Amino acid sequence: MQNPPDFVAVRRALLSVSDKTDIVPFATALAERGVELVSTGGTARALEAAGLTVRAIDDLTGFPEMMDGRLKTLHPRVHGGLLARRELESHRHAAEEHGIDPIDLVCVNLYPFTQTLASGAPPAEVIEQIDIGGPAMVRSAAKNHLWTAIVTSPAQYAGIQDELDQNDGQLSLQTRSTLAAEAFRTTATYDAAIATWMLEHTGSDQTDSVAPPVQLGLSTGHALRYGENPHQAAWAYPAHSGDGILQAKQLSGKELSYNNLADAAAALDLVADLGQNASAAAAIIKHTNPCGAAAGEDPLSVLDDAWAGDPVAAFGGILALWSEVDLPLAEHIAQPGRFLEVILAPKFSAEATSRLSERWPNARLLEYGELKAQPGGTVLKTIRGGALVQELDNLTTDATAWDHVAGPKPDPATLTAATHLWTIVKHLSSNAVAVGDTRGLLGAGAGQMDRLTSCRIAIEKAGTRLAESTGAIATSDAFFPFSDGPETLINAGVKTIVQPGGSKRDQESIDLCNERGVTMLFTGKRHFRH
């Protein structure tokens, strides 16, 4: 039995691509090396128009392309040529008996399913972009990489050409193996995107006791400088469709780090939530937690209120805005004494971009465009031995549904401010307590082992602004197990407390609020973020 060689000569190539970027130069380079070109449909026409000699796929198979191109490469003379193990006598004999010629290289990129989906095309059109023959050829060639090379992206063409030049028209086993791994990743992400869409399109119920399949639908990732720490490697994998940090346009500044991206994602999520109930919103994030946040009507005053939430922590933070940044807003952002690592906005004017880039040359400006409503989806958290998956926390804030259980009835301004603070506490690490007023967040306690300590930290962070406030509000992401938390907040000057309720000792907190003339509202829902 013959062992697979380290190098395989490329004598016959099958080319079938939807993305025809650089396919003519690549095919020309193959033809100049004496490679026979076999091709399908539109690819064959493009190559022939460039003056290349091409063998049509129906000449190879003996069958015409049919059914609007759905059936053209699913044939033994294609897949036998891809799958034959040339070191096995039985495979060589079968190929000779049935007139199957070996195929040394396959160049395939798949139908543009995700692009068609993102365009808003109707389901019937999306379905036609589900590739069948392409993934089949990719998988066959990748499986038989000991003999066959599989090329799935125009980005690979130059490297293939260079190696053919260096090795007298041959490709190494290392290259064939690497290409095969990339190919299987390509089909995996492609199938995941299709499965995700079909589950959503069919309205499949994922809330029953049977665990739903996890389909991430991510595209090929790219390396980051490092992870949370310099000794950790890291990568970013954008989704095939949708919007978010990895789809934002970077206008200036240094390369984004792993931590930058994590913080920027947290900032965008918070400002998008706040923006649902206000025309202007600002969020400042440090270590994925809000250190300043506000919502209102005027972008300049909202920015000032957000910065005032915790000016010490805000320095070197990530700022997300709900409003377009024009030159006046840019000047306001760029005030002396401020420094930001990342600034996000739906749009920056040219003048604003120039001003902020001049103020902080390394600061990253990210233009995230128009955000669609947050779709339903899942959150995945890896743990030792597996993963945990849950639905996104997309609960909308409706203060009119809250129960007024103690103290004076809140006025509309208080209720609006409480709505914003309840949104903010959702984005803090639990146990979480946020203290604020109509100006926005004044202080936050997050990530503590007990809720009382979170209350004390929030009060300390709020400082003199809390003492000066006449309508301070506190929100808690979960119920208070004892009345000591509410008492601590009330003693510091809080006039309204918002919490889910549900403790066995709720009545003690209610009685305390009634005695002290403090409003207490029960949301009936909690917002843990572990």
Q: Which residues are known catalytic residues?
A: 143, 287
Report the candidate in 516, 452, 527, 461 with the shortest Cα–Cα distance to residue 483.
452
Residues in contact with 39: Cβ distance below 8 Å, sequence separation at least 6, in sequence order = 14, 15, 16, 27, 47, 54, 55, 56, 57
How far is residue 447's CA from residue 431's CA, in Å, rounded to a whole number?
5
How far is residue 527's CA from residue 93's CA, in Å, rounded to a whole number?
66
How far is residue 58's CA from residue 75's CA, in Å, rounded to a whole number?
10
The one-letter amino acid at 52: L
> Which helix (H) or strand (E) covers residue 417, if one does?
helix 412-426
Q: Could you write out the three-class secondary structure of 298-340?
A: CHHHHHHHHHHCCHHHHCCEEEEECCCECHHHHHHHCCCCCCE
89-97 and 76-83 are packed helices; what angle lies between their axes, rounded to 10 degrees? 160
The one-letter amino acid at 40: T
Q: What are phi and psi of 59, to 5 degrees?
A: -70, -35
Coil vs helix vs strand at 8: strand
DSSP letter string, 453-483: HHHHHHHHHHHHHHHH-SSEEEEESS--SST
How far is residue 220's CA from residue 182's CA, in Å, rounded to a whole number?
9
Q: Which tokens hold the place of 233?
A: 């490697």
The one-letter amino acid at 86: R
Contact, 222 vs 236, CB < 8 A? yes
Residues forming beta bridges with residue 378, ordered by sequence position: 391
User: What is the bridge-based pairing of β-strands 280-286 and 289-296?
Assistant: antiparallel
Burial 459-468 (b: 16+ CB within 10 A, else e): bebbeebbee
Cα 365-395-248 angle, rounded to 5 deg: 20
302 HSE (CA, 13 A, CB side): 25
Q: What share of the chain is helix, strand, coil (3-state, %, to 5)?
A: 40, 20, 40
How far is residue 283's CA from residue 423's CA, in Å, rounded to a whole number?
11
Contact, 13 vs 37, CB < 8 A? yes
The one-letter amino acid at 127: I
